[in-house]
Amino acid sequence: MSPMTAQIAEKVEAAPRRRSIGEVVLTVDDLQTVFYTRAGMVRAVDRVSFALKAGETLAIVGESGCGKSITALSLLRLIPDPPGRIVGGKVVLEGTDLLSLSEPAMRKVRGNRVSMIFQEPMTSLNPVLTVGRQISQALMMHQGMSKAAAMERAVEMLRLVKVPEPAQRVKEYPHQLSGGMRQRVMIAMALSCNPRVLIADEPTTALDVTIQAQILDLILELQNQLGTAVILITHDLGVVAETAQRVIVMYAGRKVEEATVEELFARPLHPYTRGLMASIPRLGLMRNQTVETGRLQEIPGMVPPLFDLPAGCAYAPRCALADDRCRAEYPPFEEKRDAHWAACWHAGE
């Protein structure tokens, strides 16, 4: 563990929290994932580090293409190779470096000790297998359960995620369920082996607004019950404010800011974070930022293509504060305030 990661872990412990948070279960240290494309090598995840404790929710925020989903897939070593490859860093789960495990050993981790739920409940379930089959697969694989026992447990899991008539539902196929129900099934599947870490990649993005809140509540409730650590990947700062204890903001494959939720929303340091907040209706109004103008602000420009990053700060081309130093030199990721890190030459200005 690098000194910085240890420091983060320490500070997190000191940070205010809403629920009982336990030992560190997962540390990610200097993770680097690259993709080899026709246009050249792309650093999709560039030296990302963080620590995660039992029962904690860590949000990773950013626009699409910022590397947050690739970070999540890298933790499970699900990066398609080729074209992608994890080229450096450590992912330590309770003392074991997942990146050094053999593939069969890694398989015993996936779905068992670290699980993942995906954005698209419509397409993330196998259309030709019953819901029960899909949930029981992991139980049979990881817990050595018999088919009958696994099916029984699948019914229990569906009951746990509040799917009505679970005994009937296990026999049904995904297309017979609504989007919200399918995401519940995904959650039941992911939690069936009682994992230490649950990675939720935009779990509510594809759902109706009313269903979104239900699903988030469900994840939090189960997290409390089971003591699972959750990594929540989202572009929605509203979701972050409601669910997470700590937040990492990513831009162009790098961490640009990290703080507790309270701290981040009270005093965002990175201009990008502030831009994100200003572009979200609820938060903007909450912070009284855009009331005078009466309109939402958007961040000008687009995320630069990863194969063509500028020399200095990747955000500089879109940043109002950018000067020559920003364009020439990448700012270090430093603790600017107590338990609040940012990578910006003009942090807080």
Partner 1 sequence: MASYLVKRLLLMLLTLFGMSVLIFVMLRLVPGNIADIVFEAAGMIDDADKAQIEAELGLDQPIIVQYLQWIGGLVQGDLGFSYVSEKPTIEEIGPRIPITAKLALMALIFSIVLGLPLGVISAVRQNTKLDYALRVISLSGLSLPSFWLALLILMFCVQYFGTIPIYTRPPDTLWDELLLYSIPAAAVGFRSSALIMRLTRSSMLEVLRQDYIRTARAMGASNTSVNYYHALKNAVLPVTTIIGIEAAFLIGGLIVTETVFNIPGVARFLVEAILWRDYPIVQNLVMFIALVVVVVNFLVDLLYVVLDPRIKYAD
Residues that bind partner 1 (CB under 8 A): 76, 78, 104, 107-112, 115-116, 118, 120, 123-130, 137-138, 141-142, 173, 175, 186, 189-190
Q: Closest approach of Cβ 81 to partner 1, in Å? A: 12
Query: In terms of CB distance, is 76 or 306 closer to partner 1?
Result: 76
Q: Closest approach of Cβ 108 to partner 1, in Å? A: 7
Query: In terms of CB distance, is 173 or 330 closer to partner 1?
Result: 173
Q: Closest approach of Cβ 174 to partner 1, in Å? A: 8
Burial of 4 from C-beta contacts in 10 A (0-12 / 13-18 / 19+): middle
* Residues belonging to the chain: 349
Query: In terms of CB distance, is 3 or 127 closer to partner 1?
Result: 127
The residues pairing with 114 across neighbouring beta strands, listed in sequence order, are 110, 197
Query: In terms of CB distance, is 100 or 123 closer to partner 1?
Result: 123
Q: Closest approach of Cβ 166 to partner 1, in Å? A: 19
Query: In terms of CB distance, is 142 or 255 closer to partner 1?
Result: 142
Q: Closest approach of Cβ 330 to partner 1, in Å? A: 32
CA 198 remoteness from chain centre: 9
Helices 131-143 and 147-160 cross at an angle (nearest 10°) of 120
The answer, yes or no, to whether the previous bond of 82 is cis (omega within 30 of 0) is yes
The 10 Å CB-count burial string (b at 16+, else e) for 286-312 is ebeebeeeeeeeebeeebbebeebbeb
Query: In terms of CB distance, is 118 or 251 closer to partner 1?
Result: 118
Q: Closest approach of Cβ 126 to partner 1, in Å? A: 4
